[in-house]
Structure 1
Amino acid sequence: MNRLSNEKSLYLRQHSDNPVDWYPWSDEAFEQAKIKNLPIFLSIGYSSCHWCHVMERESFQSDEIAEIMNKNFINIKVDREEFPDVDSIYMKAVQSISGTGGWPLSVFLTPDLNPFYGGTYFPPTDRHGMPSFSKILLSISDHWYKQPNLVIDNADQLKKLLGNQNNEDEKRTNILSEEKIFQLSEGIISMLDFINGGTRGFPKFPQVPLFDFISICYRYNKDERILRGIKITLDNINKGGIHDHLLGGFHRYSTDEKWSVPHFEKMLYDNALIARLFIYGYRVSNNNAYLDIAEKTLKFIFTEMWSSDNGFISSIDADTNGVEGYSYTWDYSNLITILNENQLKLANEHWLLSATGNYEGRNVLNIINTLDSFKSNAKDISDFKELLIIYEKLKNNRLQRLQPKKDTKMIVSWMSLVIQALGEFLIEKENHEWLDKSNLVMDMIFSTAKDDKIFHIIEQENGSFTGRIPGYLSDYSELSLACLALYKCTYNEKWMKKFIILGELISKNFWDVSHESFIDSSSNKNLYITPRDTFDSPTYSGISSANLVMLYSYSVTGDEKFINIFEKSVHKESDNIIKYPNAYSGWISAILISNNLEQVVIVGDINNPNTKEMLKIASSGHNPSRIVIHVEESNLSNLSITKDKKMINGHPTGYYCKDFVCKNPTNSVKEFTKNFI
């Protein structure tokens, strides 16, 4: 056992039996590096990462390699899900050094925590043109002992380079115009794969922020290329091996361009974002199948990723007993023993199975003929019914296997993404059980807050909930948007009040006035540069989501402070947005939203049929620019958006405003509807 045996992170505990003398990210490790004048080897990963497991088995369990590490380095192990700010800044360094990034992330630092060399996975022996990990360790150690000043100088130069990327102060382009946004959308459309979906090439990630952006564009320009790209993407993600057709949920990404063979870990954030993307797809296409897929994905989250602690777990491992994808893939000989001859024939027609398989001799299930096609084309309904039996047989077989491990840490930003997706779903379809569970999650998060400070990870100890690690910008931003999502589907003023409070806290604690930019972390002082993660890939960056919070806070309160912060934040990154629009899709979405802000206020008894109808009309369709507020005549909110807005003639009254300029209010549902045609 090493120092990691008592750590709360599953990923760190997975390395507690290594012969490597690991330290967690801690002052003790930093002090030892300075006292012993040793470079630091920093290894960053997460518990469900396949290649993290591989490097651990091959290198960190090796006595020979561990001896080299322990003699020549202070070795630090970090769970990227605990310290996303640490992961972010060192990922940028490795990408700058090697041109690539990923996990496991392997970084070499000076005792002052400045990076000077790095990569991702290193093999234990020379392989495929890659030097062995032991050779790299010995070479770096040799350089450190023979030329420490040169190593330190190189690290200082890299620090300066990366620091300048955060603090560039050159003249920037004004990109707040809608014309500029649609120009950028043309570049993104040109990247779309209109055969397989997603963007061209591989590996393929769902890239939810990018498709969220073009779905908003479609609302305004009705470009049929966008609709086609969205539908092709959603259809192929649904049918591909990235989708677990038996037990539900989506794997992290596809290793090929056809979504056929995934990396098998299931992440909470991916499934939340994909569920929401299918809801957006339903709204722009009116295809009910997309809403059904969203519902099934949420069902997976609320069952397989639900924690007995009344929250959502972070991930499900890619590996089972050291074999990637074992729980999810099928040996053909095994299928022969499970299914009868007719069932095997139908399964082949549905999934295209083979004796050789499509992944290391095993079959990843990819749908080639959908269940609906069997239902509509079968001479009778028997084939369709038989397929349902096949599904149940294979599900039961899967459940009898050894299951992949689950990382049960409850991360506030990721749980908040689930609440956001659920909020959008509940606008379309009721589910009281899921709403009740979401209220439990939100109450748990807020119960751990201290002095208005949110935590990053929530745990249960001795029957009560506690927070661990101060919240990052992403935790505050996504939680704020989750409050807004719950308000949109319940009109419970409690959630609007919390949304406004969180917006204030974000502007106070994470806005760097001197650099006119948000920062990702306001508490971690042991960082060699200020963490400012701006890229929206594969999830929204904390800054991107904070921009959206500022916009909606302005739309709700009318406080110019929020729109000023938003415009300065966007202006700071304007040149990068133009250069890399696909990596800044969340930012571009926010800009497009900012040009079309709508405020709708409906005053009346929530149980009045006309009030309900007006709320339904105002909330329908896909329009992220619109904020809908409900107030009771007897309890008018003190928001500026609701000021002086009362019922007319004692009947439910609708107010429609764009950029705070309001049309005449109306009691007529018919007249009110004209605002949304």
Structure 2
Amino acid sequence: MPNRLADATSPYLRQHADNPVDWWPWGDEAFAEAQRRDVPVFLSVGYAACHWCHVMAHESFEDATTAEVLNGGFVAIKVDREERPDVDAVFMAATQALTGHGGWPMSVFLTPDRRPFYAGTYFPPRAAHGLPAFTDVVDAIAAAWRDRRDEVLTSADDISGQLAARHAPRLPGEVSVAELDLARAELRREFDEVRGGFGGAPKFPPSMVLEGLLRLGDDDSLSMVDATCRAMARGGLYDQLAGGFARYSVDAGWVVPHFEKMLYDNALLLGVYTHWWRVSGDPLGERVVAETVDWLTTELRTPEGGFAASLDADSLDDHGHSAEGAFYAWDPAQLVEVLGAEDGAWAGEVFAVTGTGTFEHGRSTLQLVGDPEPERLAQIRSALRAAREERHRPGRDDKVVAAWNGWLIHSLVQAAGVFGRSDWLALARDAATLIWEQHWVEGRLRRTSRDGVVGDAPGVLEDYAAMIMAAVALAGAEADGVWLERADLLAAVITTEFADGDGFFDTAADAESLYLRPQDPSDNATPSGLSTTVHALALLGEATGRPELRARAARAAATAGGLVDRAPRFAGWLLADAASRLVRPPVEVAVVGDAVDAATTELARVAYRRAPAGSVIMVGLPDTPGLALLADRPLRDGRPTAYVCRGFVCRLPVTEPADLADQL
């Protein structure tokens, strides 16, 4: 019989609905039950695309004997970290403090009043590799709760107190050109000269850092961007048959990915590769942008018009067993079977599929070696892609996350403008409309929805800020003042409910109270709530001509500005913001004219391609209601006209694309 997770919004929770473990979703009822039974809580946190989460579920949570032990001595709670990043952040801090490391699945034992006293990540079913068996851990915790309760409670008090007093390093400070130089030098020191990227294995796509370097724009910065973008796009991290980036590479050379594909990575990298193409004109960048949008549309777009969270790393192999990378890896014999001997051998060379294999069991991930003949490559890719469709597909987590869709919408609008793709703009509009119509509930933003039904989880700072970025971009591209009104509503919630002096908390003032209120200014796999808010408020200030919003963004950036030169790998978007202010400040570009007029379209494309990063571009008829940038901007001689402005003070209007390019 299904447990309480059967009706959850989260597909990850639904995956555990038929476990023999008597799971509860996170909430007051679960902790009240722990109080009533006088037992501790076992909290398990993971996400749908997590390989080791699936492993622990199969080994332990699907096991009747293990479930009996858990059910007898604990109230078991399952949390989707993507749906409740606040819960994940708070208890990840405890896990890292107690064990020295973190990860998922995260396993935390709590008192009934939500204080942690023991934590770990993955536990095997039998002791191995220095890890105790999960049932041994559970038995020991149950015995300690029963026989040494005072020690457990004292430990919980001590841990919670220490963690509540510990805050993520703020490192406040104004960023000057000198700090930008230090940041660049530090990134150069950590840069992998041979394989691109920063640091060693595992190697994650450094999306935010690349955006910062692109905005710095000097030769040294761009050389790091060029090498990294090319290496990622040619490596196994990128799906060479259908597009889309995996979450990270397990090696330093981008060869073997951890195969899950996340919406947020592809949303952010879409923006990076669009910007890289603007700067470099490299055809590889244009191809990656187009293929990434195609992949997003084919694989992650939901029937409601939003974009799903992720694809699993695992799928069934030829023997019906769940295996990581089974959908993506090839051996030489499989290539020959699909393509024939001659083309199969050629494809093996082009994609670095070797006899010994670069992955597991003699199979290889596909990499793109050199620049093979384009027409033949296209035919080979098409044939292999069609053959791969016969394999068992990875599972999809089809919940819609507000922040991740917000970042994607912003990137889609930029890509649509740069490459003149009205169909991409339509994708952005549909996703934004879905978020607004379903996630905006009684004046507040909810974080997730699924199948057209909004979840209960409240939006966190990144959700509000990312949707401001999306709304401002759409307002400009579509000449629709309604989106600026919506951005204002979102910003009002941020400044009233999330503010901490000049900075911001990651959760709202009326959010669930835990022993710690999350507040992490550093970028990790995604931009921090703080850095996203800095970009969002600056964009909204540019779009509306309200200098107080730009000033608010600058003050917020200064609360963590010391990260830029001391830890730039974790402050990429703050680096990007500082570079925009100090190196090539953004402008406002008003392109007035009928949007379907070819001359208007060409001026708009020049604006998107040439304007400094962080600029606001608005395309529409003069004096469009709700868009101050288009007010009092008449056509010149009856022709579509462009105005390049800074702080709403404009240069002479121009009607020729070449003149606009010169001004920009």
TM-score normalised by length of structure 1: 0.89
Aligned AA for 1:517?
F
Indicate how the Cα distance of structure 1 residues 391 and 599 shifts in structure 2: closer, same or farther if over 3 A, else same: closer
Give the secondary structure class of the aligned counterpart of 2:118. Answer: strand
Residues 6-51 of structure 1: CA deviation (Å, up to 9, x unaligned): 3232211222222222111021111122223322211111112111
Q: Is 1:508 matched with 2:496?
A: yes
Give the secondary structure class of the aligned counterpart of 2:462. Answer: helix
Distance 1:363 1:325 in 2: 10
Indicate how the Cα distance of structure 1 residues 447 and 131 shifts in structure 2: closer, same or farther if over 3 A, else same: same
Residues 116-144 of structure 1: CA deviation (Å, up to 9, x unaligned): 22221111112112222222223333333
Give the corresponding residue for 1:517.
504
Indicate how the Cα distance of structure 1 residues 325 and 615 shifts in structure 2: closer, same or farther if over 3 A, else same: closer
Residues 141-174 of structure 1: CA deviation (Å, up to 9, x unaligned): 33333433333333333333333344989xx653
Indicate how the Cα distance of structure 1 residues 155 and 650 shifts in structure 2: closer, same or farther if over 3 A, else same: same
Contact 2:505 2:517 in 1 (8 A): no
Aligned AA for 1:570?
A
Contact 2:335 2:348 in 1 (8 A): no
Offset of residue 441 of structure 1: 2.2
Contact 1:333 1:355 in 2 (8 A): no
Written as runs of structure 1 = structure 2, the 5 A alignment for 1:352-367 is 352-367=352-367
Distance 1:175 1:518 in 2: 20
Give the secondary structure class of the aligned counterpart of 1:458. Answer: strand
Give the counterpart of 1:456 among 413, 431, 447: 447
Distance 1:135 1:94 in 2: 19
Indicate how the Cα distance of structure 1 residues 151 and 175 shifts in structure 2: closer, same or farther if over 3 A, else same: farther
Structure with the larger RCO, 1 or 2 (CA within 8 Å, 6+ apart): 2
Written as runs of structure 1 = structure 2, the 5 A alignment for 1:382-531 is 385=376, 387-448=377-438, 449-460=440-451, 466=454, 468-513=456-501, 516-531=503-518
Indicate how the Cα distance of structure 1 residues 304 and 130 shifts in structure 2: closer, same or farther if over 3 A, else same: same
Written as runs of structure 1 = structure 2, the 5 A alignment for 1:252-651 is 252-321=247-316, 322-370=322-370, 372-375=371-374, 385=376, 387-448=377-438, 449-460=440-451, 466=454, 468-513=456-501, 516-595=503-582, 597-602=585-590, 604-606=592-594, 614-621=603-610, 623-630=612-619, 632-635=621-624, 639=628
Percent of residue pairs identical:
31
Give the secondary structure class of the aligned counterpart of 1:75. Answer: strand
Distance 1:277 1:439 in 2: 20
Distance 1:489 1:175 in 2: 33
Offset of residue 576 of structure 1: 4.6
Indicate how the Cα distance of structure 1 residues 567 and 353 shifts in structure 2: closer, same or farther if over 3 A, else same: closer
Distance 1:190 1:182 in 2: 12
Give the secondary structure class of the aligned counterpart of 2:447. Answer: strand
Contact 1:91 1:105 in 2 (8 A): yes
Distance 1:310 1:656 in 2: 34
Distance 1:535 1:78 in 2: 23
Offset of residue 350 of structure 1: 1.0
Indicate how the Cα distance of structure 1 residues 604 and 441 shifts in structure 2: closer, same or farther if over 3 A, else same: closer
Distance 1:354 1:288 in 2: 28
Per mean C-alpha deviation after superposition, the further-off stretch among 526-535 and 271-280 is 526-535
Aligned AA for 1:237?
M
Offset of residue 255 of structure 1: 0.6
Contact 2:588 2:647 in 1 (8 A): no
Distance 1:388 1:598 in 2: 39
Distance 1:248 1:610 in 2: 33
Unmatched 5+ stretches in structure 2: 317-321
Indicate how the Cα distance of structure 1 residues 180 and 51 shifts in structure 2: closer, same or farther if over 3 A, else same: same
Give the secondary structure class of the aligned counterpart of 1:76. Answer: strand
Contact 1:520 1:533 in 2 (8 A): no
Q: Is 1:157 matched with 2:158?
A: yes
Give the secondary structure class of the aligned counterpart of 2:587. Answer: strand
Offset of residue 272 of structure 1: 1.6
Per mean C-alpha deviation after superposition, the further-off stretch among 174-183 and 331-340 is 331-340
Indicate how the Cα distance of structure 1 residues 501 and 182 shifts in structure 2: closer, same or farther if over 3 A, else same: farther
Give the secondary structure class of the aligned counterpart of 1:409. Answer: strand
Aligned AA for 1:286?
G
Give the corresponding residue for 1:57.
58
Distance 2:186 2:168 in 1: 27
Give the secondary structure class of the aligned counterpart of 1:620. Answer: helix
Distance 1:352 1:51 in 2: 28
